[in-house]
Amino acid sequence: MKVGSSSLRTAEGRLDADLATHLIDAVADLRERGVQVVFVSSGAVAAGLAPLGLRQRPIDLPRLQAAASVGQGLLVHTYQRRLAARGLAGGQVLLTPDDVVERARYLNARGTLETLLGLGAIPLVNENDTIATEELRFGDNDRLAALVASMLGAQLLVLLTDVDGFYEGGEVVPRLTELSSAIARHSRRPGSDVGSGGIASKLEAARIAAFSGAHSVIAHARAENVVHRTVLGEEIGTWCPPSRHRPESRKLWIAFARTPRGRIVVDKGAARALIERGSSLLAVGVEEAEGAFTVGDAVDVVHDGRVLGRGLSGLDRETVERVRGRPTEDLAEAGEPTRAVIHRDSLVVLPHVP
Ligand SMILES: Nc1ncnc2c1ncn2[C@@H]1O[C@H](COP(=O)(O)OP(=O)(O)O)[C@@H](O)[C@H]1O
Ligand SMILES: N[C@@H](CCC(=O)OP(=O)(O)O)C(=O)O
């Protein structure tokens, strides 16, 4: 379950302790009924503004980090105090993208979350904003929440926000199955002035959850009994079902944890080899490389204008430009790198985007 900054701050720019308490009570109720809940909470920056005398969300990184540092403590304190009143413990878990992208760190983070849940505690998750930089941050917590849901094999991702759901044509869409086209239509809409993701990042999060086999609900944080109603599967907000065609879940982190830094356009033969045979992408099938990516960066693999998948590049862009279209034997003779442009273990193919 995730709640956004826009919901958690009051009109005066402080943390809305009433809503925080109300949501924690709902989490505690679920926990008492045996439902395991991870609580991803935004609002560190928002909660840190007033105590630091800042009128609005700063745009410079040092002050954002400072606000998050002050606000995160307040947030967790508020949650832990209420959980304690209900006889429960809350454990703070602050994540960075590397905790999801790097396999060893991913397993480590997953272990921590599973242990907390196993001990009956409520993990209180946020991005580690105090040390996050522009280049290395999730930015919005929707994606972070979806990745955590994927990591834990959750059944349901609840995204609580300040609107009743995903709107189109002036009405809330009750059930959304065509996530990709909705994302394409809404990718440029900004969010509220304090939230950072907007609706597009919620739809992206729903897509990640769908690929992981989880349902998602986008609903208003202040709707009556919203948490219980979503868990009971009642009609509320916008419901996104899981995808029927899922890539291997262990590869989801490759596809979604990092923002792609470039695109690699491949020919028809390579596209077929990737989709049908699960092959690595070799230089010979590459037609073009776009963007300033380096070794280990996420890149989209494109054929015929369609994104086929995403992978971690084994070569930097300049090298891909040099080796593209050339068979491995030629490269060996010329003393060029012969390794795959993207190794199959670092490549996730998304043939059926919902
Ligand atoms: N089609 C849409 N449906 C719903 N909300 C939308 C839509 N387009 C833009 N929005 C905006 O997205 C905002 C929610 O995103 P955001 O501010 O990032 O929330 P949060 O802080 O909860 O993550 C809404 O307040 C709304 O203004
Ligand atoms: N990690 C940040 C949240 C970033 C953010 O604004 O997220 P969201 O409101 O979910 O779009 C914070 O705690 O302030």
Residue 84 alpha carbon to ligand 2 centre in Å: 25
Residue ranges per structural domain of the chain: 2-247, 260-349
Residue 195 Cβ inside 6 Å of ligand 1? The answer reads: yes
Backbone angles phi, psi at 295, to 5 degrees: -60, 130
Structure tokens at 334: 């010329």
Q: What span, in angstroms and rounded, lies between the C-alpha atoms of 169 and 164? A: 14
Task: Provide φ and ψ at 169, rounded to 5°.
Answer: 60, 30
CB count in 10 Å sphere of residue 287? 14
CA distances from 33 to 37, 228, 231, 289, 348 (A): 11, 11, 12, 52, 37
241 burial via Cβ count (<10 Å: 0-12, 13-18, 19+): middle
Ligand 1 geometric centre to CA of 199 (Å): 4
**Ligand lying nearest the CA atom of residue 137:** 2
> What are the b/e assignments for 4-38, b being 16+ CB within 10 Å?
bbbbbbeeeebbbeebbebbbebbbbbbeeeebbb
CB atoms within 10 A of CB 65: 19
Q: Hey, which bits of 74-143 come out as E strands? A: 90-95, 122-127
Token digits for 169?
A: 């044509």
- At 132, list the tokens: 């996050």
DSSP H or E stretch at residue 180: helix 179-186
Q: What is the structure's pLDDT at 354?
A: 36
**Assigned CATH topology for domain 260-349:** 2.30.130
Residue nearest (by alpha carbon) to ligand 1 atom 23: 4
- Residue 189 Cβ < 6 Å to ligand 1: yes
CATH architecture of 2-247: 3-Layer(aba) Sandwich (3.40)
Residue 69 CA: distances (Å) to CA of 40, 52, 63: 17, 11, 10
CA-CA-CA-CA torsion for 93, 95, 100, 106, nearest 10 degrees? Answer: -40
- For ligand 2, whether the C-beta of 141 sits within 6 Å is yes
Please report, in tens digits, the pLDDT of each residue of the chain (354 residues total).
Answer: 999 999 998 887 788 999 999 999 999 999 999 999 999 999 999 999 999 999 888 999 999 999 999 999 999 999 999 999 999 999 999 998 888 877 788 899 999 999 999 999 999 999 999 988 776 678 789 999 999 999 999 999 999 999 999 999 999 999 998 887 888 788 655 555 555 668 989 998 998 899 888 999 999 999 999 999 999 999 999 999 998 766 666 677 777 767 789 999 999 999 999 988 889 999 999 999 999 999 989 899 999 988 888 899 999 999 999 999 999 999 999 999 999 999 998 898 875 443
Nearest Cα residue to 160 out of 109, 226, 78:
226
Q: Each residue of 108-158: pLDDT tens digit? A: 999 999 999 999 999 999 999 998 877 667 878 999 999 999 999 999 999
Res 248: pLDDT: 67
- Common-topology check for domains 2-247 and 260-349: no
CA of 192 to the centre of ligand 1 (A): 6
CA distance to 13, 226, 273, 288, per residue, from 237 (Å): 26, 9, 41, 42
- Of all protein residues, whose CA lies closest to atom 2 belonging to ligand 2? 42
